[in-house]
Amino acid sequence: MAAPIRFLALFASLLGLASLACASPVTPLDLTALPGCAATCILHEIGRSDCSFGNQTCLCADTTYNSLVEECVIANCTVKQGLVTKNTTLTACGTPSSTETDGTLEWLRVVLFIIPTFFFTVRMVSKYLQLSTWGWDDTTFVFAYIVLAAFLPGNYYITEAGSGRDTWTLTPDQITKVLLIVYIFNLLYATCLSLIKGSIILLYLRIFPDTKIRKVLWGTLAFNGALWIVYIGPATFICKPISFFWQGWSGEMEGHCINMHAASVSHSVLQLTFDVVLLVLLASQIWGLNMSPRKKIAVLLVFSTGIFLTAVGAYRVKSLTVFAASDNPTVNTYEAAIWSHVELATGACVACFPSTRQVWNWMVPTLAEITGVKSKYGSSNESTPESTPPSPPSDYSRKQSGKQSWLSRIAADLNTNVSLRDMRSTSAASLVESKDPSAVPARYGEVGNDSGVVKGRGRQHKRANPRVDAAVS
């Protein structure tokens, strides 16, 4: 629902909360603190109440009297005057003000900046170490992170402006600023989410070489872009003039807005469906690869963290529904903004998980070599009780060995076929040197054939996808 329409609903309930049970001491109503139109309404309707003018407790509980005053204020006061009237009467009746900006949400916005920044940094480190090549998915994600980074100062400014507090407790300038930031947030959210999803799809295009699956991925990429275009257009020109979105609430400006609530919910539902389709598509491809079940499960766990992104997106739809139906929008903007930020931060982390695993798999054996700790990658100090410990290698040989193993692990993660070409060259050289065909390892005998099948010792096996291994190992 457009902001001005929500404020008309708020104006229509100006004194509706005055009959709530008082949580604070009741104080006499100061008519001089009210706009002239509201004071006139209160004095005009007091004769129709069974309560005396000085009995504020009785007046706060008199629903009939409050309804009459409400109708009079709506007919004779502006929106700004109505907000002042509501704030003054609720304070006199001892009704506590609402607030969503507790300590937990204050530090949450900082966490939502630090965690995606950490994963973004790790992703850039993986490119610097050449654990994988730079691709369009990385370029797209850089733009997504730039847009995401704008949410930290945005969350700070919207909180300072009054988001999370009752509308009638804010000044007109604060209300205008909150609505302006909400407008900007909406455009940034749609753009950032589209870039994150696009980055993930482009990563899948680098991993999966199958023609059929690539056609589906290109289709989903086109759908992702089309969804952004279809949403961003109406969201940008939601009001005419555009500034009516954040200035029209007061009723002092002429203009009109379209109802974007249905479009926002539809956009979120389509994004959720989009997430589920990608997860099913990914699972079907990984499960069909020639890998051990343990390896398949490990790869699926890396990519299936997107399920959490889907869950967060579903909860955001709920917060949008509450925000659209609220007659106190500045309170509910805070929750909607926070959950939008949570969804984007989660998506950014999910997009960086494959690169994070690459850096982890590079870092663990490297640290093991430096510290001499035995691990599954081997140790220079490894020995058995039955054998005499080998003599320490020379400094030169130790450096060369460490360098070769370090480079070999990086090469294993590169998204290329360099290792296959090296194996073919090595096998051919060994065959020429030994002049004995049996000297060539059987598993390398047909590795270069064009059929995509590895032949050896009478059996044929489907080749595992090295791109998937490179993406997660």
For residues 88 and 120, membership in a common domain is answered with no
Q: What is the CB-side half-sphere exposure of residue 128 using CA atoms within 13 A?
A: 8
Can you tell me which residue has the tokens 């490179």? 470
- pLDDT attached to residue 426: 46
Can you tell me which residue has the tokens 């700070």? 156
For residues 400-423, average pLDDT: 42
More confident residue, 251 or 453: 251
For residues 139 and 268, membership in a common domain is answered with yes
Element housing 120 (H / E):
helix 103-128
This prediction's pTM: 0.69
Q: Is the pLDDT of residue 401 over 60?
A: no
For residues 265-294, average pLDDT: 76
Domain boundary among 366, 385, 405: 366
For residues 23 and 117, membership in a common domain is answered with no
For residues 325 and 203, membership in a common domain is answered with yes
- pLDDT attached to residue 89: 86
pLDDT tens digit sequence for 123-136: 999 889 888 889 89
In a domain, 1, yes or no: no
- The count of domains in the chain is 3
pLDDT band at 306 (very low <50, low <70, confident <90, very high): low
Q: How far is CA 442 from the centre of its chain?
A: 49
In a domain, 382, yes or no: no
Q: Which of 6-15, 168-177, 326-335, 387-396 has the highest mean pLDDT?
A: 168-177
For residues 458 and 324, membership in a common domain is answered with no
For residues 427 and 357, membership in a common domain is answered with no
In a domain, 2, yes or no: no
More confident residue, 368 or 173: 173
In a domain, 151, yes or no: yes
For residues 211 and 244, membership in a common domain is answered with yes
For residues 102-107, average pLDDT: 65
Please measure the distance between the N-terminal and C-terminal CA atoms of the chain and give it in whole angstroms. Answer: 47
Quick one: angle between helices 172-207 and 211-236, nearest 10?
A: 170
pLDDT tens digit sequence for 149-171: 888 788 788 888 888 888 888 88
For residues 121 and 84, membership in a common domain is answered with no
The angle subtended at Cα 319 by Cα 315 and Cα 320, nearest 5°, is 115
In a domain, 422, yes or no: yes
For residues 329 and 183, membership in a common domain is answered with yes
Domain boundary among 351, 366, 381: 366
> Quick one: tokens of 434?
């030994």
For residues 304 and 344, membership in a common domain is answered with yes
pLDDT tens digit sequence for 5-60: 444 444 444 444 344 344 456 677 778 888 889 989 888 888 888 888 888 888 88
Distance CA 39, CA 144 (A): 53
Distance CA 22, CA 138 (A): 57
Distance CA 426, CA 418 (A): 12
- pLDDT attached to residue 422: 46
For residues 207 and 185, membership in a common domain is answered with yes
pLDDT band at 144 (very low <50, low <70, confident <90, very high): very high
In a domain, 284, yes or no: yes
Question: Which residues, at least 6 apart from 156, have a Cβ–Cβ distance to it below 8 Å?
Answer: 109
User: What is the maximum alpha-carbon separation in the chain?
Assistant: 116
Contact 253, 247 (CB under 8 A): yes
In a domain, 427, yes or no: yes
In a domain, 399, yes or no: no
Q: Which residue range is the domain that position 282 belongs to?
A: 103-288+300-366
For residues 204 and 346, membership in a common domain is answered with yes
Q: Which of 96-105, 238-247, 293-302 has the highest mean pLDDT?
A: 238-247
